[in-house]
A and B are shown apart, each in its own frame.
Chain A
Amino acid sequence: MKTHTIVLNVNREIHMVTVRSADTLLYVLRSKLGLTGAKPGCLNGDCGACTVNVDGWPMKSCLMLAVEAVGKKITTIEGLKDTPIQQAFVENFAFQCGYCTPGFIMNCHSLIEQHPDADDEKIREWLESNICRCTGYEEIKNAIKSVLNKD
């Protein structure tokens, strides 16, 4: 089938949506569900601006078809409420233009959840998945470390 009516679990809400097989998760989140926090950047899996969280792990939503997301728990930046990493981004000035910020926060949030004892090498490895054109990497790293140290 070229189109499918699927059920997506996004930010703990159930959505029934009709999609083409060829629609990426990013497109469906933004254009069908109105969740515009995940940003379109390269659309090629390079920049990480579209990063969401799927079953606890970061996922570039431009690299996933919406039909692949059936049965999974998807969290977008809209689904994060007052998390320590969001506060840490503010306190550490970890953004400038802000376009990459939702993707970075989703990746950092997953990192903190998966590796609460992450060392510098682990942080470096995970942060390589996202690009900040304002080059705020140092501040982003500081934001992660401030959350890890608090825990």
Chain B
Amino acid sequence: MLSFDFDYYKPVTLKEAVQLLETLEQQEKKTMVFSGGTELITLGRIDLSITEAVIDIKDIQECRVMGLNEKNLVLGSALSLTKIEKANLFPLLTKVSSEIADHTARGKITLGGNICAKIFYREAVLPFLLTDSQVIIAGAKGIKVLSIHDIFHEELQLEKGDILLQLETEKSFLGSPFLCIKRRQQWNSGYPLITICALKVGNEIRVAISGFCPFPFRSKVVEEILNNDRLSLEERINTVIEVLPGPILNDVEGSSKYRVFVLKNLLREIMMSLKVEV
């Protein structure tokens, strides 16, 4: 139970949702687009999140799409993580998703909710960063299709009135070799110390990381170093540590020094497992 009141709307069409969001924003009502809603409920309980209106998008058909078309895999933002895991159309996403929270909670947590979360791990975005996916957004001016690299900088940069609708990933990436490792301080469920995902495309490796900085990221500079065959494996790993974005997290899950130690080992494991030439 939350201690504050809000208006709750559950539109069934996208048009209705967009108009509703526009109207509520014109009325200067603090409005939250809600699909799984777990973050509003958990953070709202301790007064870290508050809203005056909620637009629940999970009955909107476009937000529940899951399937392959000629070129892409299309996933709706309101799909629960367990639905995505069960269908297993994107094995890398299945693996990342299956490590988020716990099985029952993943029946409520949605793809869009995790990507747009205030809690900064946002691990579900990692596979989409690695596959140069497209983000489909609905707003008052219509539908926008944007490269994830243009709209995801630490977090999804939605404009006022925007609703995250879908993510589109080229089918050609779905079968690429990958490795995803989530290291926790302890136990098998909960927040990560570091989550790292790697994808091998041709002979090159791509990596995306959550839990190292207070935001998930993929870095071209890091990848150039990891794929530089003039350097030894240890030289690559040591150089990567020098160019990582900051700040490095230093919290109850682990100190920044420990995170660097763990990341070095993870990079070594990934390079060896995916057989990157060194």
Query: Considering only CB atoms, which chain A residue lies closest to B86 in the complex?
Result: A114
Complex contact A2–B189 (CB within 8 A): no
CB distance from A111 to the nearest CB of B (A): 9
Minimum CB distance partner of B82 in chain A = A57
With a cutoff of 8 Å between Cβ atoms, the chain B residues found around residue A27 in the complex are: 1
- Interface membership of A43, Cβ < 8 A: yes
Interface positions of B from 94 to 108, Cβ below 8 Å from A: 98, 101-105, 107-108
Interface size class of A (residues with CB under 8 A): 20 to 34
CB neighbours (8 Å) of A1 from chain B are: 7-8
Determine whether the beta carbon of A128 is less than 8 Å from that of B102.
yes
Give A151 Cβ to nearest chain B Cβ, in Å: 21
Interface residues on B, range: 20 to 34
Which among A4, A63, A67 is the interface contact of B42 at CB below 8 angstroms? A63
**Residue of A with least CB distance to B44:** A22
A20 touching B5 in the complex, CB below 8 Å, given contacts A59-B108, A63-B41, A65-B41: yes
The answer to whether A148 has its CB under 8 Å from any CB of chain B is no
Q: Which of A20, A44, A59 contacts B45 (CB 8 A)?
A: A44
The total number of A-B Cβ pairs within 8 Å is: 82
Find chain A residues with CB under 8 A from B3 CB. Answer: 22
B2 at the interface (CB under 8 A from A): yes
Any B CB within 8 A of the CB of A64: yes
Quote the shortest CB–CB distance from B69 to chain A (angstroms).
Answer: 28
B56 within 8 Å of A (CB atoms): yes
B215, chain A: closest CB distance, angstroms: 23
| With known contacts A24-B1, A67-B8, A128-B189, A44–B104 Cβ distance under 8 A | no
Name the residue in A20, A65, A130 with the highest tally of chain B Cβ atoms < 10 Å from its Cβ. A65
A18-42 interface code vs B (CB 8 A; 1 in, 0 out): 0011111001000000000000000
* Extra contacts besides A2-B5, A2-B6, A48-B102 (14): CB < 8 Å: A20-B5, A22-B2, A22-B6, A45-B101, A45-B105, A58-B107, A60-B105, A63-B105, A63-B108, A65-B37, A68-B37, A107-B104, A125-B98, A128-B189
